């Protein structure tokens, strides 16, 4: 499970986690959010991008992303569920590392769904899946981890 940092290049999950801890340690008094969001874009195949953002609230952020290509899915519901599942997988792995490290960072899952458009019918199901897994869920317009960061690298 490798990630790409725009400033540091390719790194493993553990190296990314250490980089996140170093970012937090640089200003331990600040407030932080650890955000995971996924988005997808259709080309010849389907490009899924999962982004991990460590946000130093009011003072900037650092992010990492990974791409995954897959054959096309024909249902919007399948795509949205797959995006949420990819985010949950990364969030679960990071939550394990945070727990083992004694860190109390709050993990948010940003979903590429909102009250406008075709995805509004999926909000209850997808948010329920995320919250039921023990994470906070954000939808558009508050889900910038998916709708801005992941979206930028999915095209």
For the stretch 15-55, pLDDT in tens is 999 999 999 999 999 999 999 999 999 878 899 999 999 99
How many whole angstroms separate alpha carbon 30 and alpha carbon 111?
A: 25
Per DSSP, what are the bridge partners of residue 9?
5
Give the count of beta carbons closer than 10 Å to the beta carbon of residue 67: 14
Mean pLDDT over 130-141 rounds to 96
Q: Give the list of residues 6+ apart from residue 89 with CB closer than 8 angstroms, or none.
A: none
* DSSP secondary structure code for residue 24 in this structure: H
E-strand spans in 13-123?
32-42, 46-56, 61-70, 107-110
pTM: 0.94
């Amino acid at each position: 499970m490798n990630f790409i940092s725009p400033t540091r290049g390719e790194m493993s999950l553990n190296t990314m986690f250490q980089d996140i801890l170093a970012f937090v340690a640089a200003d331990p008094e600040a407030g932080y959010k650890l955000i995971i969001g996924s988005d997808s874009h259709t080309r010849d195949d389907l490009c899924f991008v999962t982004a991990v953002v460590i946000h130093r609230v009011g003072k900037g952020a650092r992010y990492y992303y990974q791409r995954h290509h897959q054959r096309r899915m024909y249902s919007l519901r399948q795509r949205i569920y797959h995006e949420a599942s990819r985010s949950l997988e990364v969030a679960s792995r990071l939550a394990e590392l945070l727990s083992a490290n004694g860190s109390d960072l709050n993990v948010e899952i940003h979903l590429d769904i909102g009250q406008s458009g075709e995805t509004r019918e999926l909000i209850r199901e997808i948010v329920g899946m995320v919250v039921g897994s023990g994470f906070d869920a954000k939808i558009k317009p508050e889900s910038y981890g998916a709708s801005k960061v992941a979206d930028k690298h999915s095209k």
